Amino acid sequence: MTKNKLKKESIIPRIDGIARDIEKLRGFAKKPPDEFTDNEELFALSQFYLRQALEGVFHIGEHILSRLNGGRATEYKEIARLLGERKIVKKTFADTRLKAMAGYRNRLTHFYAEITPEEIYSILKDNLADFHIFLKAIKKVLENPDKFGLALE
């Protein structure tokens, strides 16, 4: 039986991009709250890097799922759910944190005018570790694709 192949060139650059985005966001999170919330440029950059990192997460997830039978997803929250069901990430992580990340990606894209600097700062302080959990799971897939019924191209 031929295994569907993951394209490393579709995944590795996104992993690297997410890591770079998170490093930028970690730097912004080190700013004192007042300095962050009073700086419009920092607020805008934070939204940009956060949205870009979230897009990377869901592009990677969609790419992996597209290689699995019945894995196609049409919405970001569905990507999160299927990644958990397919054991790409832990189901509890998928159903809670990854689903929340999907919702926040939609908020950044469609309801950006409602987002406040305080809200973004809180995410930078409290939720960036979720990206590392996701990336660790994806690296396991790349290291052991057979375990997931996949191969690398």
**pLDDT digits 0-9 by tens, 65-119:** 999 987 788 899 999 999 999 999 999 999 999 999 999 999 999 999 999 999 9
Kindly list the structural domains of the chain, giving each domain's residue range(s) and its CATH number in brackets, ordered by start.
8-145 (1.20.120.580)
Q: What is the pTM of this model?
A: 0.94
CA-to-CA separations, 151 to 27, 87, 97, 145, 148, in angstroms, rounded: 36, 16, 27, 5, 9
